[in-house]
């Protein structure tokens, strides 16, 4: 003989959130995987290759110069005056910081030297030139 148990009405009013939680976790995982690709695609700079390139672990000021000789800092295009002002502000906070210049390999040499000259005028003493590691 089978017994039938009567369920409380309260049990039917509860919402099962397990499927919702699964969907949210899957979406979170997708965004975590996709977000680095969205950020790095902003600037298209082909760095020159060097066999002696080293990886830096320090926190430095990074300046980018693309093939059209436009300068960028923090993924924002800046005029030369704005760039120099921002670099100067960061150097006032930490005078031991180095400036890493990551210039496209197609940048006109004179524009690169002009950038170096302007940075020296505002007091930058430590320069690093960004390259990619040659295989």
Same domain, 82 and 125: yes
State how many domains the chain has: 2
Same domain, 88 and 66: yes
pLDDT band at 5; cut points 50, 70, 90: low
* Segments forming the whole domain that contains residue 15: 9-40
What are the pLDDT digits (tens) for 44-62? 788 888 888 777 767 888 9
pTM value > 0.75: no
> In CATH, what number is assigned to the domain containing residue 90?
3.30.420.270
Residue 1 forms part of a structural domain: no
Q: How far is CA 8 from CA 11, 18, 128, in A?
A: 6, 21, 72
Same domain, 53 and 36: no
Q: What is the pLDDT of residue 34?
A: 84
What average pLDDT does range 69-93 have in this prediction? 90
The CA distance from 90 to 73, in Å, is 12
Residue 23 forms part of a structural domain: yes
Same domain, 120 and 57: yes
What are the pLDDT digits (tens) for 10-38? 555 677 888 999 999 999 999 888 877 76
Q: What is the pLDDT of residue 30?
A: 92
């Amino acid at each position: 003989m089978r017994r039938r148990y009567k369920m409380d009405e309260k049990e039917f009013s509860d919402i099962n959130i397990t499927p919702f939680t699964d969907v949210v976790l899957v979406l979170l995982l997708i965004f975590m995987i996709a977000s680095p690709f969205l950020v790095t695609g902003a600037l298209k700079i082909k760095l020159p290759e060097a066999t002696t390139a080293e990886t830096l672990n320090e926190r430095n000021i990074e300046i980018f110069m693309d093939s059209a000789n436009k300068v960028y800092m923090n993924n924002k295009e800046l005029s030369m005056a704005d760039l120099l002002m921002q670099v100067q502000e960061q150097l006032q906070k930490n005078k031991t910081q180095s400036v890493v210049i990551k210039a496209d390999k197609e940048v006109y040499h004179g524009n690169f030297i002009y950038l170096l000259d302007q940075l020296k005028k505002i007091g930058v003493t430590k320069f690093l030139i960004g390259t990619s590691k040659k295989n």
